[in-house]
């Protein structure tokens, strides 16, 4: 027997430390007007020295809220899927850290490295495990700690002003009614554009930590993220639209059926462009990038948890999740809320 999965619980965590655009203007050549005009971001959260936050620990805090929201016990969790581009260790991934820190049984823990599309990919993996009947409850986490790895100078402002720290989580649970829950997911990649949004070092095939330390070159930018902003924007708006249409057509739906769209919070201008293309009202699209910046794999589950708390979702609503990012990778999930 095949099942569907439904999002039974949501949770999120963001660090207390707020970094405004004016705060960034104090340490680099930028301004609140410059950042808002290009990204829509007003502020973001960064971990603070000594606050104990890591990618794994923030994921744990978000997961605890999702478990409580779902009304299940942590022993009910059968599997963990953890999406991040900023793990605490190069290896192992944070999935096993979360398994330990949550006190879970020796359940499997899978790490997903798909950057801004990471949560959609992780959700799709979890959905397949539940659809086939292998698991009943899967914990899906997206967590990022960007701030410690950014070039917080004028040189790096094109990237550094965009990103924030935080974590979001959902519990996916078995749903026997095939008309409810996650109806379908759709995943794509185009590796020819990998270097247009990438962090090249450290990496075994390019520049490893030992080389960076040996050369001690202050002008070596290979260990900072690089983004070809205009190129990424152009591809993002195209792929967002394509993968949303793909999901709708798969389920014999149209844009007029969408009750709520939660896009990956990459750039408010991208979200507004997609909103316009689908003819959606402000009430039909949920954005929070203004307050958190781009939290990569965490952005959709954070926004989903906030939207749920704000009463934006009711039973029977059609929820569309979509993301585009480094890789390039992109994806969507079509969900009948239950």
Catalytic site residue from 116, 186, 287, 288: 116
Rounded Cα gap, residues 39 and 290, in angstroms: 8
β-bridge partners, 332:
186, 322
| Whole-number Å distance between alpha carbons of 281 and 100 | 43
Is 264 catalytic? The answer is yes
Do the strands 166-175 and 137-144 form a parallel or antiparallel pair, or are they unpaired? antiparallel
Q: Is 112 in contact with 82 (CB distance < 8 Å)?
A: yes
* The pair of three-digit structure tokens given for residue 62, joined into one six-digit string: 């978000």
If you search the block for the tokens 């993301």, which residue do you land on? 323
- Look at strands 329-336 and 181-189 and give their pairing: antiparallel
Distance CA 239, CA 81 (A): 25
Annotated catalytic, 294?
yes
116 catalytic per annotation: yes
What are φ and ψ of residue 84, in 5° steps?
-165, 155
Q: Which of 21, 287, 288, 294 is catalytic?
A: 294
* Residues ≥6 apart with Cβ < 8 Å to 317: 259, 260, 336, 337
Work out the number of other CB atoms within 10 angstroms of the CB of residue 53: 24
By the 8 A CB rule, do 326 and 319 touch?
A: no
Write the CB contacts of 90 (distance below 8 Å, at least 6 apart in sequence).
Answer: 202
Cα–Cα distance between 292 and 41 in angstroms, integer?
8
Cβ neighbour number for residue 223 with a 10 Å cutoff: 15
**Per annotation, catalytic residue among 4, 235, 264, 287:** 264
Which residues are known to be catalytic?
116, 264, 294
């Amino acid at each position: 027997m095949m099942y569907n999965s439904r999002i039974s619980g949501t949770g999120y965590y963001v660090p207390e430390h707020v970094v405004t655009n004016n705060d960034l203007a104090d340490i680099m050549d930028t301004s609140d007007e410059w950042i808002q005009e290009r990204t829509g971001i007003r502020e973001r959260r960064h971990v603070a020295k000594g606050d104990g936050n890591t990618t794994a620990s923030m994921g744990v805090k978000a997961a605890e809220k999702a478990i409580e929201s779902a009304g299940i016990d942590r022993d009910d969790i059968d599997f963990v899927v953890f999406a991040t581009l900023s793990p605490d260790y190069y290896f192992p991934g944070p999935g096993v850290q979360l398994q330990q820190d949550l006190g879970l049984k020796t359940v499997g823990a899978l790490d997903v490295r798909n950057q801004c599309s990471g949560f959609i990919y992780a959700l799709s993996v979890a959905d397949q495990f539940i659809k086939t009947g292998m698991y009943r409850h899967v914990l899906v986490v997206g967590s990022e700690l960007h701030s410690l790895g950014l070039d917080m100078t004028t040189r790096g402002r094109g990237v550094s002003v965009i990103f924030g720290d935080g974590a979001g989580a959902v519990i996916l649970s078995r749903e026997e009614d095939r008309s409810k829950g996650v109806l379908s997911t759709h995943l794509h990649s185009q590796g020819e554009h990998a270097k247009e949004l990438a962090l090249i070092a450290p990496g075994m095939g390019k520049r490893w930590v030992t080389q960076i330390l040996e050369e001690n070159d202050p002008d070596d930018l290979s260990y900072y993220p690089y983004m070809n902003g205009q190129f990424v924007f152009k591809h993002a708006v195209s792929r967002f639209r394509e993968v949303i249409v793909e999901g709708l057509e798969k389920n014999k739906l149209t844009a007029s059926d969408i009750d709520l769209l939660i896009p990956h919070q990459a750039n408010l201008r991208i979200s507004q462009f997609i909103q316009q293309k689908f003819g959606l009202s402000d009430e039909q699209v949920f954005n929070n990038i203004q307050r958190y910046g781009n939290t990569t794999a965490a952005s959709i589950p954070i926004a989903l948890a906030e939207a749920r708390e704000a009463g934006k979702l009711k039973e029977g609503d059609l929820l569309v999740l979509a993301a585009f990012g480094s890789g390039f990778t992109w994806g969507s999930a079509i969900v009948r809320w239950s």
